[in-house]
Structure 1
Amino acid sequence: MLELNALFFAVAGPAVVFAGISKGGFGSGAAFASASILALILEPGLALGVMLPLLMLIDVSTLRPYWGKWSWPDAKLLIVGGVPGVALGALLYQVANADVFRLLIGGISIGFVLWQLTQSRGLIRAAARKLPAWAGLSAGLVAGFTSFVSHAGGPPAAVYMLSQRLTKTEFQATTVLLFWVINIVKFIPYAALGMFTAQTALANLLLAPFALLGAWLGVKAHRIVPEWLFFRVTYVLLTLTGSKLIWDALT
């Protein structure tokens, strides 16, 4: 049950702004923290349903500043792989209960933090050579699946794109294009699975200004805010929310 009370907006408002900043300026890598945060107070499927239209609004508002600046060959591979990944996510949703999704969202949150920390300490290094096309398709498949189950497609897509030695803006623009398409594809099974209701639509309407504000801030921050600061805050949020979701799922 979705109750549009003070607690909901106190949690959802900042979470949606955060998602907009991540998608608008930092490659979407941490946007899924918003779904993790919402899943603390909502049933996971409801949290995903609330966030998707807002993420799509952010996608549309960030397309223009990055239009045509993407790497189309890389985006194409990731999109082609991503569509069947979304289908796999939809199949899992039909057979899994809410605790499975709490565990998945929590596990992906913690896994993202561990991956980033091990990479920053040199324990995992970016590929010395550009990864081949099949790796792009595989990364797209994983991105589509994780995007469906937790809006967390950014990290697997980033692994492939980082190997392609894209510029900062090419990386950001390619990410914007990729998840604009994947989120459109996700909308159909989300609707078929009953993840949208009259209450989620009202929540989307009321939270739309937060999404647009976050997207605007993200585009501005892309040029001026150091990535290390943004992601350190993200790591703390994801560690706390991911741990709580795993605890709730197991207990």
Structure 2
Amino acid sequence: MIADPWFYCLAIPALLFVGVSKGGLGAGAGILSVPLLSLAIPPTQAAGIMLPVLCVMDLIGLWSYRASHDGAKLVFLLPAALIGIALGTITFGWLSEAGIRLVIGAIAVLFVLRHAAGMLGRDHARHRPPPGRPAGIFWSAMAGYTSFVAHAGGPPLSVYLLPQNLHKTVFVGTTVVFFAVVNYAKLAPYWWLGQLVPGNLATSLVLLPLAPIGMGLGFWLHRRIDPVMFFRICHGLLLVTGVKLVWDGLRGLAA
């Protein structure tokens, strides 16, 4: 089990932030957890420690949003995500973590900039149809892949879901169900690849009480926030996350 106090100084706010994100804003902001923990431990170890805690958060989220999700979209999103997880398993060890972060960050930043440009031409944006099923399949597979690599599936999924104009509760509920299935599907390959070793699991157990606290804060925030402000915060968090990942990716490639 990790005993370094610096690790826990990073892990406690990271997990609370993930819980607030998953419980109240969708899963996008949770992408910051692995980069933050990577300041103290290797990214692959950070991902292994995070997964059991995320699975507990998912159970809480599934119960809370059990009647609020878009089942018609999940029918084609989830199989595509499982394909992405399979690709992540097959290519594990071939991947440049810096390159993955750079690609995910660039997708997130470009999406937010495209949305901002559309808002400037509001009349044109109003008549633009949301992305269709083929786009959803593509971005869902990307979300499964990047979630496997670094629990970073939020931005690709948001690229598809945010333009769908879902009610804020349905939006969050759909992400909760999506990432619950994705995270539980990752347990077997994570174990097979040696990321769920006893030391990592013991550290996960110590951090587990943060799961209901973070999720509870997220539920509280979700019930009180205005829908317009809600989606502005989602886009803002996506932009901050994207810029952070681009910076980390460029720095890693230059090292």
TM-score range, shorter chain: 0.7 to 0.9
**Residues 29-84 of structure 1: CA deviation (Å, up to 9, x unaligned):** 11111112112222121111111111111111111121121110101111011101
Matched with 1:120 is: 116
Matched with 2:200 is: 200
Counterpart AA for 1:50: I
C-alpha deviation, 1:120, in angstroms: 2.8
Count of residue pairs the alignment pairs up:
247
Contact 2:14-2:37 within 8 A present in 1 as well: yes
Measured on the aligned residues, the alpha-carbon RMSD in Å equals 2.5
Matches within 5 A, 1:186-197: 186-197=186-197
Counterpart AA for 1:167: H
C-alpha deviation, 1:26, in angstroms: 0.7
Distance in 2, matches of 1:245 and 1:108, equals: 9
Unaligned ranges ≥5, structure 1: none
3-state DSSP class of the match of 1:41?
coil
Matches within 5 A, 1:233-248: 235-236=239-240, 239-240=243-244, 243-244=247-248, 246-248=250-252
Matched with 1:133 is: 133
Matched with 1:220 is: 220
Distance in 1, matches of 2:126 and 2:87, equals: 28
Contact 1:36-1:105 within 8 A present in 2 as well: no
**Counterparts in 2 of 1:187 and 1:221: CA distance versus 1, 3 Å:** same
Matched with 1:146 is: 146
Matches within 5 A, 1:65-214: 65-96=64-95, 100-109=96-105, 111-122=107-118, 128-214=128-214
Distance in 1, matches of 2:48 and 2:104, equals: 18
Distance in 2, matches of 1:223 and 1:42, equals: 35
C-alpha deviation, 1:122, in angstroms: 3.1
Distance in 2, matches of 1:61 and 1:151, equals: 18
Counterpart AA for 1:250: A
Distance in 2, matches of 1:102 and 1:200, equals: 23
Distance in 1, matches of 2:166 and 2:63, equals: 19
Query: 1:6 and 2:5 equivalent?
Result: yes
**Residues 80-128 of structure 1: CA deviation (Å, up to 9, x unaligned):** 11101101111221333xxx11332354245424432442343896882
Counterpart AA for 2:98: R
Counterpart AA for 2:118: G
Distance in 1, matches of 2:242 and 2:46, equals: 16
**Counterparts in 2 of 1:109 and 1:130: CA distance versus 1, 3 Å:** closer
Distance in 1, matches of 2:170 and 2:237, equals: 24
- Greater shift in the superposed pair: 2-11 or 158-167: 158-167
Calculate the TM-score normalised by the size of structure 2. Answer: 0.86
- Greater shift in the superposed pair: 165-174 or 122-131: 122-131
C-alpha deviation, 1:162, in angstroms: 3.1
Matched with 1:250 is: 254
- Greater shift in the superposed pair: 101-110 or 124-133: 124-133
**Counterparts in 2 of 1:83 and 1:240: CA distance versus 1, 3 Å:** closer
**Counterparts in 2 of 1:174 and 1:233: CA distance versus 1, 3 Å:** closer
**Counterparts in 2 of 1:242 and 1:27: CA distance versus 1, 3 Å:** same
Distance in 2, matches of 1:33 and 1:21, equals: 12
Unaligned ranges ≥5, structure 2: none
C-alpha deviation, 1:207, in angstroms: 0.8
Distance in 2, matches of 1:76 and 1:223, equals: 27
Distance in 1, matches of 2:241 and 2:68, equals: 31
Contact 2:32-2:241 within 8 A present in 1 as well: yes
Matched with 1:62 is: 61
Distance in 1, matches of 2:130 and 2:243, equals: 31
**Residues 172-219 of structure 1: CA deviation (Å, up to 9, x unaligned):** 111111110011111111110001121111111111112221111111
Distance in 2, matches of 1:48 and 1:126, equals: 39
Matches within 5 A, 1:36-55: 36-55=35-54
Identity of aligned residues (%): 32
- Greater shift in the superposed pair: 123-132 or 15-24: 123-132
